[in-house]
Structure 1
Amino acid sequence: MRFVRFGDVGAEKPGVYDESGDLRDLSGVMADLTGASLAGLGAVKPDDLPRVNGNPRLGPPVAGVGKMVCIGLNYYDHATEVNMEIPKEPVVFIKATSAITGPNDPVIMPRGSTKTDWECELGIVIGKAAKYVDEADALSHVAGYLAVNEVSEREWQLERGGTWDKGKSCDTFAPLGPWLVTPNEVGDVQNLALSLSVNGSLMQAGNTSDMIFPVARIISYLSQIMTLHPGDIISTGTPAGVGVGMKPQRFLKAGDVVELSIEKLGKQHQIIQAD
């Protein structure tokens, strides 16, 4: 099934699409799509719910995210394009949850930004607490998957010292969705096509089969370090085609239009704005 949160910013309601593609209102069944409710998604019966009229704004598909953990350099071709060694263990950093926004909301470059970049990524939504889990059991802890634009300010990330986090955590730098898609509908998560374009020009075209560390290994690895709680999101890295890896480098500017798509997980559309 495909779950969403719809409505104005800060007033989103939970929803689900039925087999005909109609949006149904879930708010009579659950208050919101938060960690506490994710374990019950399989019991939802869309046809019993009221239809939603019109074409409402879609917000991030998960509310109250406790933490957003990101994996860097997780595609062979991306590590090569940025001239970095293939990592022997997952490269882990944290993205502030205040960066989370809807899939079609504007991305706002922070003041002074000169190197804002795009990254199309598969996101994992944890549905059951994971602590010291084996790789073989890791996928049983997943509530669903979603698309992520893991936006980055490369100067702040790479040239100003300290950790990557400060170039990753600016407001609006984590568009999520449009949908949270349950694992049974996604199928093989290690065979999904990803793409991203800027102003209609294709920049990224990859497949999750090219990950250095696959989804199950990422979950197991992180669970040795920290407890993954329901509602936590893991962003799993990006394929080649980011602006920092181009020759000459190319970065976003106000007015640019970014569109990304992940097979079975839907599409995003953002207009870039300056703060």
Structure 2
Amino acid sequence: MPRTVVRYTHHARPHWGVLFGRRIAPLASGALSTGELLQSCWAPIWAAEAASATLPIDEVELLAPVTDRQQFICQGVNYRSHIAESGLRVEHFPFNTIFTKAPSCITAADAPVVRPAHVQLLDYEIELGLVLRRSLPAGTRVGPDDLPQWLAGVTIVNDLSARDVQLPQGQFYKGKSYRGFGPVGPGLVLLTPQEWARWPELHMRLSVNGQPRQDAYCADMIHGPAATLSELAAMHDLHAGDLIATGTPAGCAARAPGKLVMFVLKHLLSEAGKWRAFIGKGASNPAYLRPGDRIQASIRTDDGLIDLGEQTTRITAP
């Protein structure tokens, strides 16, 4: 069975624990980072028992289970459905698109998120988050059956994105790294080797104000966890507790314009004019997030045996 690790504040201090239903079994750990916890408390996490879950979850404030001392690595255009809705073709993306978000954007699953005053096109992206169990040596080749050796567990990530910064400026990092733009959690769900084999069955759903927006299975992923870990290990160092967000499926607010609009943008407008038109059209798109909107995001297998919980995020004004 999976084990859900939570990080929470109780009596004004951060703590770690294992979640059993609506109660927490506190862990005797002063770990300052997710990586430190996984390295020092792997056995105690799995040894925790429901009988020791004495702390009601309603009496604590949940924090993100991934701390801001970790790397926050992301994959882009990694779902076939998302590529199609962007007006692109899968065969044009044989490569794995990698970028980063600032760890300082990580926030709790139920924390309000401020839409910066200059941002008008705020978008959502539900993603499966992978968390490293241990450091990954340079050049490591990871096969599908090796995931339990290198990965601790999974969590929900919402890759909030200011499209009117990201796209016109060509800056993924800048458009996706404002404070609060990375809700993570509510928990970090540790998986057994048998459960890791079920990652393609994880069902992602996101709604805004009760309206379904994204609904897809992780099986739609193009570059899976093993291939991505192998590629990252060839590039730079990865450490215990680091977070990899694996891309989003179709259903985002940002959509590809029609063929006629694309022709006009490409042939009749300057680069600056093209992006002014993009922002102007987006301002009338009700799918973009506005202050007062409420996002709900969940990831689980259809039989409920692997359940990452639910995020509830409210967008607020500055």
| Aligned positions of 1:12-31 closer than 5 A | 12-18=14-20, 21-26=22-27, 28-31=28-31
Residue of structure 1 equivalent to 2:36: 36
Letter in 1 for 2:141: D
Match in the other structure for 2:54: 51
SS of 2:199's partner is coil
**Cα offset for 1:239?**
0.5
Which whole-Å CA distance do the structure 1 matches of 2:78 and 2:12 have between them?
A: 33
Give distance in 2, aligned partners of 1:54 and 1:220.
Answer: 38
> How far apart are 1:245 and its partner, in Å?
2.0
Q: Is the 8 A contact 2:155 2:187 kept in 1?
A: yes
Alignment-derived partner of residue 139 in structure 2? 132
Q: Match for 2:127: what amino acid?
A: E
Structure 2: distance between partners of 1:33 and 1:21: 24
Look up the match of 1:81: 85
What CA deviation, in whole Å up to 9, does each residue of 1:20-72 have, x standing for no partner?
A: 5521111x244355212213324333237462135122110122432100000
CA distance in 1, matches of 2:187, 2:162: 26
- Structure with the larger helix share: 2
Shift of 1:224: 0.9
Query: Counterpart amino acid of 1:210?
Result: D
Relative to structure 1, the CA distance from residue 9 to residue 271 in structure 2 (aligned partners, 3 Å threshold; closer, same or farther) is farther
Distance 2:148 2:178 in 1: 30
* CA shift for structure 1 position 114: 0.5
Change over 3 Å in CA distance of 1:109–1:207 after alignment to 2:
same
Quote the Cα distance in structure 2 between the aligned partners of 1:153 and 1:239. 18
| Paired AA for residue 149 in structure 1 | N
Structure 2 counterpart SS, 1:41: helix
1:179 aligns with 2:187: yes
Correspondences of 1:50-69 after superposition (within 5 Å): 51-53=54-56, 55=58, 56-69=60-73
Per the alignment, residue 190 of structure 1 pairs with 200
Tell me the SS of whatever aligns to 1:270: strand
State whether residues 9 and 59 of structure 1, in contact with CA within 8 Å, keep that contact through their aligned partners in structure 2: no
> Residue 139 of structure 1 contacts residue 216 of structure 1 at CA under 8 Å; is this kept in 2?
no
Q: C-alpha separation between the residues in 1 aligned to 2:80 and 2:56?
A: 44
Q: Is residue 238 from structure 1 mapped to residue 248 from structure 2 by the alignment? A: yes
- SS of the counterpart of 2:37? helix
Asked whether the 8 Å contact 1:117–1:242 carries over to 2, the reply is yes
- Amino acid across the alignment from 2:16: P
Q: Report the CA distance between 1:116 and its aligned residue.
A: 0.3
Q: Distance in 1 between matches of 2:33 and 2:6?
A: 8
Secondary structure of the 2:200 match is: coil
Distance 1:139 1:67, change over 3 A: same
Pairwise CA RMSD: 2.1
- Corresponding residue of 1:255: 292
1:98 and 1:10 map into 2 onto residues whose CA distance is 21
- Equivalent pairs counted in the alignment come to 272
* Residue 120 of structure 1: aligned partner: 126
Q: Which moved more, 1:230-239 or 1:133-142?
A: 133-142
- What is the distance in 2 between the residues matched to 1:193 and 1:29? 32
Task: Report if the CA contact (8 A) 1:14-1:32 is conserved.
Answer: no
Find the structure with the greater CA-based Rg.
2
Q: TM-score, normalised by structure 2?
A: 0.80
Unpaired segments ≥5 residues, structure 1: none
Question: Identity, % of aligned pairs?
Answer: 32
Q: In the TM superposition, what are the counterparts of 1:210-229 in structure 2 within 5 Å?
A: 210-229=220-239
Deviations, residues 221-248 of structure 1 (Å, cap 9, x unaligned): 1111111111110000000000002778
